Structure 1
């Protein structure tokens, strides 16, 4: 008596289904793993970052890393970045000579942004250190509520400068707000914004690399440390 038997056509189906399921799960795992690893990766890298000629720069001229903020004094997110992220970078990197920081004006809020940028350039033309005091104070002057309402006026500018940067000649400052040379510097900033495709404020660029999330302090530090290591 022959007890041997041949497998039926359906006996292999469970194995095929299991195999396909495993393959699908592995593909899904691979995709999600890549998504997670790329979530905070830099979005854009420029081989030639913006020129900092005639731009306000804070820190050691020979620092191996340059961080540029494209910002707008009218922007509440820029104020938040200035209050939350910047102090950590200043303490750990700028004050220790590892990083220099530059600021480029963005004019997303039209006339108020333009006026603030003109004022910043006019103060910078008189005194670089005074510029950084003005820079900090103008962000602090931004209203907590109704920041979209009109608040950047010539009167507010003069008030902020008088308090935060008393070395500045206010008469000259008022004249420079209408000065073509000062206006040309704001124009240069606007051209840089266009050239480098800045779409949001703040936009943070580290040695030519634009970060997807300017508030991700861990990613910022990781990139700075990497750039420092690459320069050594």
Structure 2
């Protein structure tokens, strides 16, 4: 049920499927070992220039205090098994202990590596963002996850989710039909490739001094907590 798509497959899906997925609209890596690694230094030149915009642009609205000293960036796919595991086992504790207390702000970025429904779900969330309900749509997607490419994120279900969180359906449907946010989703996928990500979820913790720490996979809360505390010490 859980596949391990290559980076090449992810590139094809992100650049091709996003163009065709809504024409009829009215991959997680199988990680046996989760690792924690520092991200490479931000590059000033080269084929894939990494800047702070690579982490912060082309994503969700900020969740939490916009002036929080520490930033958590998640690259995820709404069909991803381990992204769903993170949402249900770890994200709640991060929100309660760090986001809601103003210590950490959170950003979600798309990395669509599993299939067409992943891209459709990303569109749904960004169209919900036009009505200031991105995170509500994000949450209802993961709350209804049942697997990869099995239809739970079909266009019919995406409509149902939009109705359940109270979106203006005329505005949301027009946004979906127009593929209004295609370029943002494509750019987010490109950011993930520049960062040489090969699976989801992948996280970057950015401290007050701009230092970034990369975390792979659905790590337990304690892993995030340890890094947050180290970075928060720098802001005192």
TM interval, short-chain normalised: 0.7 to 0.9
Q: After superposition, what is the alpha-carbon deviation per residue over 1:148-178, rounded to whole angstroms, capped at 9, x for unaligned?
A: 4232111100101111x20x21112111113
Quote the offset at 1:46 in angstroms: 4.7
1:175 maps to 174
Which runs of no fewer than 5 residues in structure 2 stay unpaired?
Answer: 1-33, 43-50, 207-211
**Of 204, 213, 231, which residue of structure 2 is paired with 1:227?**
231
The answer to whether the 8 A contact 1:46-1:209 is kept is: no
The answer to whether the 8 A contact 1:45-1:209 is kept is: no
**Of 22, 37, 46, which residue of structure 2 is paired with 1:42?**
37
CA distance in 1, matches of 2:68, 2:180: 29
1:158 maps to 159
2:194 maps to 195
CA distance in 1, matches of 2:198, 2:141: 22
CA distance in 2, matches of 1:45, 1:227: 17
Higher helix share: 1
The answer to whether the 8 A contact 2:201-2:216 is kept is: no
Q: After superposition, what is the alpha-carbon deviation per residue over 1:66-91, rounded to whole angstroms, capped at 9, x for unaligned?
A: 00111111111111100111011011
The answer to whether the 8 A contact 2:56-2:73 is kept is: no
Q: Tell me the SS of whatever aligns to 2:203.
A: strand
Quote the offset at 1:211 in angstroms: 1.3
2:134 maps to 131
1:209 maps to 213
Q: Tell me the SS of whatever aligns to 1:211.
A: strand
TM-score, normalised via structure 2 length: 0.74
The answer to whether the 8 A contact 1:55-1:102 is kept is: yes
Greater mean deviation of Cα atoms: 105-114 or 63-72: 105-114
Quote the offset at 1:41 in angstroms: 4.3
The answer to whether the 8 A contact 1:60-1:94 is kept is: yes
CA distance in 1, matches of 2:152, 2:163: 17
Q: Cα RMSD over matched residues?
A: 1.9
Q: Tell me the SS of whatever aligns to 1:86.
A: helix
CA distance in 2, matches of 1:76, 1:137: 15
Quote the offset at 1:53 in angstroms: 6.1
Q: After superposition, what is the alpha-carbon deviation per residue over 1:90-143, rounded to whole angstroms, capped at 9, x for unaligned?
A: 11100100000100011111311110111111111221xx21111111111111
Q: Tell me the SS of whatever aligns to 2:232.
A: helix
1:51 aligns with 2:56: yes
TM-score, normalised via structure 1 length: 0.75
**Of 98, 110, 128, which residue of structure 2 is paired with 1:93?**
98
CA distance in 2, matches of 1:171, 1:65: 37
Distance 1:204 1:110, change over 3 A: same
